[in-house]
Structure 1
Amino acid sequence: MSSITGTTRRRFLATLSAAAAGAPLAPLAAGCGRASGRARRTGTLRYQGWTGTVTLPELAADLGFLGDVALEWVGNTGSGPQDVQTAATGQIDFGGAFNGASVKLQEAGAPLTSVIGYYGTDAKYYQGFFVLEGSPIKNPRDLLGKKVGMNTLGGHSQAVLDLYLRGRGLTAAEVAEVRPIALPPVATEQALRQGQIDVAALAGIFQEKAKDNGGVRPLFRDVDFLGPFTAGSYVFRDDFIERNPDTVRAFTAGVARTIEWSRERPREEVVAHLTRILEARGRNETGDALRYWLSWGVAGKGGVMSDREFTTWSDWLAEVGQIPEATVAPGDLYTNEFNPYAAGGGTR
């Protein structure tokens, strides 16, 4: 992993709120040094889960792939940006989000490093934008003034929507007329059917469930114009990595192994594991959507990452004014150091 130099990566608290809200980042003002090197090493990782689904680390732990590393669930999150913010402030040990959200925090000085990709876009798992079957919305200009429901603002869905509209000739002023609305993934399909939104951004099990229910049609998909790519990664604070390299290595290796296990096993077997985990943990949730699981969408073997999966979003963030300019080199945004599949180049 590249060493973290200068003060920029150590100063981020003043901009966390702006990063979450999707506002342009202000100049950094608050200092934040690394935690004391006297801090005790740990074999337990605090994390946030997601309602109605099972994360890759949770599956890895159930399969015994994390070795001696234990997971401690501290609650659920509603968005990736919130999850990595919570990791940045040390309230949890790792978080996962769309790489663009992580880049934004890292550009703001958050001392974070991505260690493994955990979701992405492929032929089975992609970000699709859906309308009702009878909707008059047919092309990009039909979206002007319309409400688009998505799991969080400033995340994957909003970035893809912006790239799609700009790539089809809409001006920045016209793009601003499209209205992103933040909704929990479990409620987005219902909001579309009830007319509360005009377009629903759906992925994974929630997308497959909506298609199975019928009455919706795709407007566009990110995989059609961006191709297969890993879209999100798990991050740790840099000081945590320095204190606990063996723990981070075990976590990364376990999640990487789980990604490949999921590819190699019959889909029904993966779904059965996910369903059993959710039912056993007793979090007052339903696992109905889990039967629609198809893929994690991770591009690199074992979640190995590449520069493109970060520079695509850092370039976009700079272009739309979310950051002044991209200043953090890709090699300081992520590392494949802890991933056992990196030795083979990370290709499938």
Structure 2
Amino acid sequence: MPAAFTSSTTSRRQFLTLLGISAAAVSCGTATAEGGGSGSRVKTLKYQGAVGQVTLPELAADLGHFGDVTLEWVGNTISGPQDIQSAATGQTHFGSAFNGAVIKLASTKAPIKAVISSYGSDRHSYGGYFVLEDSPIRSARDLIGTSVGMNTLGAHYQALLDIYLSRNGLSEAEAAKVEPLVVPPVNTEQALRQKQIEVGVLSGVLRDKALANGGIRPLFTDTELLGPFSAGTYIMTERFIKQNPDTVRTFVTGVAKAIEYSRTTPRDEVVARMTEIVGKRGRNEDTAALKYWRSYGVAETGGRISDKEFQLWLDWLGGRGDIKQGRLKASDLYTNEFNAYGKG
């Protein structure tokens, strides 16, 4: 196995360590990120982006939905857990991650709140568990003894793998013989084709690009398991929300409008706009992959959040023993108060 691919045990430990920040650490966020006391309003939001992609806040800003609120890019995120950790510790003002990762962070008593959905899965944007066309793997039971490459452990794609194995009758002992491995998304197709892994999780433009190259097929997809669903949210600290309600409302409603713009505007127009955005920001990025963009996958109108989008993962994490069953309530993890889009 290439050195770049971390072992399951090491990666899981790193993931849990990443989310195991204390409430004390969160309360020590930077003054710049948290803003001043009453009477001052933060109007420049620090954030992390993604290489060659346009996030919903970036799209909202370009569409003019943020008014006098501006974005300040401070770098690119390496994962959802890292992104929300940065927001929780005051390095940035907001971050996005899988809702299970948000729950994990909240379970450490980090004072955070989800404010709007950030991504999801639908018929256009979904996560697929792909094998080679001639692979003997045809069912969940065929996965015993294999390696499944995914971007992060303990998050969205490991949760869905566990659900798939459980719903198809594998015992806990049998499921433990299916090894999830961390493989950077940009390397997943190559690792699969070179048979370094038996299954690779692909989504978005990387999935469509791999499918266009041929020779692979999906074993299953997340939408086959759960139907269309919002999978991740943008979070902010409760302190920042309390001190800057108007900025939060502008941000959340602007992102909500960007979600609906991406749904209702012809795809070619959205892709063209995204390509312009990437070109204008001058980060020396390749825009070729944007032509495969289909949707952000957010399920609810305007990205409004509901209990069900957290309860599934509360149950999963509780069943794994990662959090205490019943300690957190879904309704305490998010707010729609600042989302003026489709309110009521």
**TM-score computed with the length of structure 1 as normaliser:** 0.88
Q: Distance in 1 between matches of 2:307 and 2:204?
A: 24
Evaluate the alpha carbon distance shift between residue 252 and residue 27 of structure 1 in structure 2; reply closer, same or farther with a 3 A threshold: closer
Q: Work out whether residues 25 and 324 of structure 1, in 8 Å CA contact, stay in contact via their aligned partners in 2.
A: no
Give 2:273's aligned residue.
273
2:128 alignment partner AA? G
Q: Distance in 1 between matches of 2:190 and 2:301?
A: 35
1:38 alignment partner AA? G
Give 1:38's aligned residue.
37
Give 2:220's aligned residue.
220
Q: Distance in 2 between matches of 1:75 and 1:277?
A: 16
Identity across matched positions, percent: 56
Give 1:48's aligned residue.
48
How far is 1:18 from its partner?
A: 8.2
1:195 aligns with 2:195: yes
Give 2:120's aligned residue.
120
Q: Distance in 2 between matches of 1:222 and 1:173?
A: 23
How far is 1:225 from its partner?
A: 1.9
CA offset digits 1:107-165 (Å, max 9, x no partner): 22111100000211111111111111111111111112211111111211111111111
Q: Secondary structure at the match of 2:91?
A: coil
- Could you tell me which runs of 5 or more consecutive residues in structure 2 were left unpaired when the two chains were aligned: 1-10
Which has the higher mean CA deviation after the structures are superposed, 53-62 or 326-335?
326-335
1:254 alignment partner AA? G
How far is 1:32 from its partner?
A: 5.6
1:129 alignment partner AA? Y
**TM-score computed with the length of structure 2 as normaliser:** 0.89
Evaluate the alpha carbon distance shift between residue 254 and residue 24 of structure 1 in structure 2; reply closer, same or farther with a 3 A threshold: closer
Give 1:3's aligned residue.
none
Give 1:321's aligned residue.
321
- Could you tell me which runs of 5 or more consecutive residues in structure 1 were left unpaired when the two chains were aligned: 1-16
Give 1:21's aligned residue.
15
Question: Any residues of structure 2 matched to 1:124-273 within 5 Å, and which?
Answer: 124-273=124-273
Give 2:285's aligned residue.
285
Give 1:107's aligned residue.
107
Evaluate the alpha carbon distance shift between residue 24 and residue 91 of structure 1 in structure 2; reply closer, same or farther with a 3 A threshold: closer
Give 2:63's aligned residue.
63
> RMSD between aligned alpha carbons?
2.3
Q: Distance in 2 between matches of 1:125 and 1:240?
A: 31
Give 1:96's aligned residue.
96
How far is 1:190 from its partner?
A: 1.7
Q: Secondary structure at the match of 2:53?
A: coil
Q: Distance in 2 between matches of 1:160 and 1:279?
A: 35
How far is 1:282 from its partner?
A: 2.4
Which has the higher mean CA deviation after the structures are superposed, 143-152 or 256-265?
143-152
Q: Work out whether residues 69 and 250 of structure 1, in 8 Å CA contact, stay in contact via their aligned partners in 2.
A: yes
2:37 alignment partner AA? R
Which has the higher mean CA deviation after the structures are superposed, 143-152 or 216-225?
143-152
Evaluate the alpha carbon distance shift between residue 172 and residue 27 of structure 1 in structure 2; reply closer, same or farther with a 3 A threshold: farther
Q: Distance in 2 between matches of 1:56 and 1:254?
A: 9
Q: Work out whether residues 131 and 219 of structure 2, in 8 Å CA contact, stay in contact via their aligned partners in 1.
A: yes
Q: Work out whether residues 112 and 238 of structure 1, in 8 Å CA contact, stay in contact via their aligned partners in 2.
A: yes
